[in-house]
Chain A
Amino acid sequence: MAKIVGSITTSHVPAIGRALAGKLQDDPYWKPFFDGFPPVHAWLEKVKPDVAVVLYNDHGLNFFLDKMPTFAVGAAPQYHNADEGWGIPTLPPYQGDPALSWQLIEDLVAREFDITTCQEMLVDHAFSLPLKLLWPASESCPVRTVPVCINTVQYPLPSARRCYKLGKAIGEAIAGWDDDLRVVIIGTGGLSHQLDGERAGFINKDFDLAFMESLIADPEWATQFSMEELVEKTGTQGVELLMWLAARAALPGAVRKVHANYHIPISNTAAGLMVIETVA
């Protein structure tokens, strides 16, 4: 039986890529953000995952408006990062695990999630940067990966409730894998931020902190909100909290917070980081 060791949720802003490339971890602007990560590294050393299921949103690298899947699951032996148009350094490829991907795909479709399967899939900063933040010392990512992409580009987006259910289904599917694997769920994005429009720069600290707290004891709290309400409360890109919600929902039973960090701002974003594990 595969075991989910826990969930890690983190922001994924492109500027992190420039900060990593420029080795700005101790720069006063960046230090409060990067200081959140050493406890996560220690936790990963302890729980030793073999595989990461990474919930993220594509920003126009792999998917365009010609075909926009609501949920897409990678099924490739390897995933490549690529030029996104603004010159952040490209990171080395990621090992996939097609057998696990197909198990997940079969389980999700059986659970009535009509996903898109991707035997080729470019992964953008929302996938690559969190993995680099979690395993900074390795040249390439040391765990195998299964990417799960959620549409946050073109409305209608899947609702918070739907993403919660997706996460729950992913958790149940993994628990049924007949394999002695240790799996970490990673959800990337958020928290509150808005890049576009006259309201650009919008951040909502009160909501973010309430949301982070809700993930421990009341994880369905955010599912009460419609997508428009979430945009209003968290900004146009704050809806990336969908990935946090799904990553949390993948954990069965009661959970505890291992670690959390929250800092405003990095770039235009309220940066959040959380590690949650199931109470044994």
Chain B
Amino acid sequence: MATRQKREIPGTSIFDGELAQKGYALNKMCFSFNSADNRAEFQRDEAAYCRKFGLNDEQETAIRTRNVLGLLAAGGNVYYLAKFAGILGLDVQDLGAAQTGMTKEAFKAMLVAAGK
């Protein structure tokens, strides 16, 4: 099978066909969170909701443990994962802090410093 050389960008992944296939079930579940009824159903029984969408073990574990980098590695796309974060009441700065291992305050300070 032909493979293409991928450009490596540190701390960054490109959501290509490979990830889009790998993460399909996870992203489909997160896409469903556009609906308030679906968000409520997820919150009533998270495990059942994950099963309904056919998440694999890696995806289900990453959802259960709120592991943002794990969700990305399992094929999650940030645009859909943002809807999961919304259920948890997290904003993109909380996500940024979680992924970089910083406190939210330190993450926000880093952003401000980028403007200097």
Q: Is the CB of A232 within 8 A of B83?
A: no
Given known A59-B79, A200-B96, contact A267–B34 (CB-CB < 8 A): no
Q: Kindly provide the distance from the CB of B17 to the nearest chain A CB, expressed in whole angstroms.
A: 7
Quick one: given A198-B69, A228-B14, are A65 and B27 in contact (CB under 8 Å)? yes
Min distance, Cβ A195 to any Cβ of chain B, angstroms: 5
Is the beta-carbon distance between A265 and B115 smaller than 8 angstroms?
yes
Whether A43 sits at the interface, judged by CB under 8 Å, is: no
Contact A205 B115 (CB under 8 A): yes
**Which interface residue of A84, A85, A197, A268 has the most chain B CB atoms within 10 A?**
A85
Are the CB atoms of B100 and A201 closer together than 8 Å? Answer: yes
Contact at A155–B115, with CB atoms within 8 Å? no
* Cβ contact within 8 Å between A270 and B72: no
Beta-carbon contact of B114 and A196 below 8 Å: no
List residues of chain B with CB within 8 A of the CB of A85.
30, 33-34, 39, 82-83, 86-87
The listed residue (A84, A155, A200, A265) touching B34 by CB distance below 8 A is A84
Contact A270 B114, beta carbon cutoff 8 Å: yes
B62 adjacent to chain A (CB < 8 Å): no
B80–A231 touching, CB < 8 Å: no
Q: Interface size bucket, B side?
A: 35 or more
Given A60-B80, A153-B15, decide whether A83 and B36 contact each other with a Cβ distance below 8 A. Answer: yes
| Known A-B contacts A85-B82, A155-B17, A228-B7; A264 and B12 likewise in contact (beta carbons under 8 Å) | no
- Of the candidates B30, B95, B96, the one having the most CB atoms from chain A within 10 angstroms of its own CB is B96
Known: A195-B92, A267-B92, A268-B111. A86 touches B28 (CB 8 A): no
Interface readout for B77-96 with A: 1 if CB under 8 Å, 0 if not?
11111110111000111011
Residues of A within 8 A of B7 (CB): 228-229, 232
Candidate in A87, A197, A198, A200 with the most chain B CB atoms within 10 angstroms? A200
In the complex, the answer to whether A203 meets B111 with C-beta atoms within 8 Å is yes
> Chain B contacts of A270 at CB under 8 A?
114-115
Residues of A within 8 A of B72 (CB): 196-197
> Given A86-B83, A200-B96: A194 and B34 within 8 A (CB)?
no
Count residues of A near B (Cβ-Cβ below 8 Å).
41
User: Contacts A60-B79, A64-B31, A232-B7: A200 and B14 contacting too (C-beta < 8 A)?
Assistant: no
**A197 contact from B11, B17, B31, Cβ within 8 A:** B11
Question: Which residues of the other chain, B, contact A156 by a CB distance below 8 angstroms?
Answer: 16
A150 to chain B, nearest CB (A): 14
A15 at the interface (CB under 8 A from B): yes
Please indicate the chain B residues that have their CB under 8 angstroms from the CB of A259 in the complex: none
Partner of A195 from B30, B83, B96, B114 at Cβ < 8 Å: B96
Q: How far is the CB of B43 from chain A (nearest CB, A)?
A: 13
Asked whether, in the complex, the Cβ of B96 is within 8 Å of the Cβ of A268, the reply is: yes
Q: Check B17–A86 contact: CB distance below 8 A.
A: no
Task: Using CB atoms and an 8 Å cutoff, list the residues of chain B in contact with chain A.
Answer: 7, 9-17, 20, 24, 27-28, 30-31, 33-36, 39, 69, 72, 77-83, 85-87, 91-93, 95-96, 99-100, 107, 110-112, 114-115
Q: Which 5 A-B pairs have the closest CB atoms?
A: A264-B115, A86-B86, A199-B11, A85-B83, A198-B11
> Known pairs A60-B77, A196-B13. 10 more at Cβ < 8 A?
A66-B28, A84-B34, A85-B82, A85-B87, A194-B12, A196-B99, A203-B115, A264-B112, A268-B92, A270-B114
A sample of 18 inter-chain contacts (CB < 8 A) reads A60-B77, A65-B28, A83-B34, A154-B16, A154-B17, A155-B17, A195-B78, A196-B13, A196-B78, A197-B12, A199-B10, A201-B111, A205-B114, A229-B7, A237-B78, A263-B115, A268-B96, A270-B114
